[in-house]
Amino acid sequence: MVAGVISERASILLKTLVEHHIQDGQPVGSSTLLKVAGLPVSAATIRNVMSDLEERGYLQSPHTSAGRVPTALGYRLFVDTLLQIQAPEDDAVSALRAELNPDKSATELVQAASSLLSNITAQAGLVTVPSQEANQLRQVEFLPLSGNRVLVILVVNEREVQNRIIHTQRPFTEAQLRDAASMVNQRYAGQALNQVKERILREMREARSQIDSYLEDALDLASKALDQEGDAEECMMVGESRLLGSATAEEMPTLRDLFESFEQKKDLLHLLERSARAEGVQIFIGEEAGYDIFGNYSVVTAPYNDGFRTLGVLGVIGPKRMEYARVIPIVDVTARMLSSALSN
């Protein structure tokens, strides 16, 4: 939503009010604005401007106070037209550069990005995990363990190594497993994991009566190895407890509902899917997200990529009165640095 045009005086007062409210979370009265706004006007003039801003939907008056607080529309006008973005702090950039090391695997990088966002912004950090469509099988190895267990070493994309143990119907020798891995690599290396799974299941279903036992064993091993690939979380979240520290007594009931929503992640994932289709930083303030559960909160996101395609979205969730001037550039630079690390 694009907010309407207001006068320069109203803009100064709205900007001052929002910044003051972000700092202490309390309603802001006309006497406070008179002191800090620096305008050569009377308290009566400020009250009139505040009243006009309230009528236009930019401010609201809590029942317990004579002061006013910004609405979602007021925050939107502030973010779109009045906000002065700050450069990321040197310490934050240094921490991001140190942790988002290209030598790390994609999983490690994504986990680090979520934790860093939470720590630096003091909000809840989140990141969607690259989908299987973005993961390509490079190589697989099967090593025999005791009994009917097999160690699977899965190399995904350029350098990410995943280890898992699968249980088979019968024991296999080292030579049999080596032959099975060679067969799987010849047939499927370089393909997306989800396509590999589909091909394996289709070939096993369509040609079970025609394929020899060696190929059947290889396909069965590969199918079991990839079955666990879909168990990974679609979205990782760090620092939910930070929201408790910034919540007012009135916000606690909705915060509990928000935590329950995090458990299901349905609404959150829908919102992040929308963000992945856009370019650059996206800011959803309160009900703008399209879900009532986010009414008292804002979500700031940015997509990340590997130089070829969008892999996912990262961002933060915090109260509507978060420090947008600081949070927005941190989300932006984190997405850029994560993309750079994944592109190397």
Domains along the chain? Answer: 8-82 (1.10.10.10), 90-129+234-343 (3.30.450.40), 133-231 (3.30.390.60)
User: Are 32 and 21 in contact, with CB atoms under 8 Å apart?
Assistant: no
Per-position DSSP letters for 239-262, written without gaps between them: -THHHHHH--GGGHHHHHHHHHHH
Q: Write the DSSP symbol of residue 190.
A: T
d(CA 262, CA 283): 19
Output the pLDDT for position 228. 54
Q: How long a stretch of residues is the chain? A: 344
- Residue among 263, 304, 308 at smallest CA distance from 130: 304
Terminal Cα-to-Cα distance of the chain (whole angstroms): 38
Output the pLDDT for position 22. 93
- In sequence order, the 6+-apart residues with CB closer than 8 A to the CB of 249 are none
Chain centroid to Cα 10, Å, comes to 35
Give the β-pairing of 149-156 and 235-238. Answer: unpaired
Please give the average pLDDT of every successive group of 10 residues along the chain, which has 344 residues.
Answer: 74 95 91 90 92 95 82 95 92 95 86 93 87 73 85 77 79 86 87 79 62 63 66 69 72 71 66 81 86 81 88 90 95 96 86
201: helix, strand or coil: helix
Q: Read off the pTM.
A: 0.72
- Residue among 180, 116, 126, 177 at smallest CA distance from 148: 177
d(CA 165, CA 324): 45
Output the pLDDT for position 154. 80
Element (H, E) at 50: helix 43-55
d(CA 203, CA 247): 54
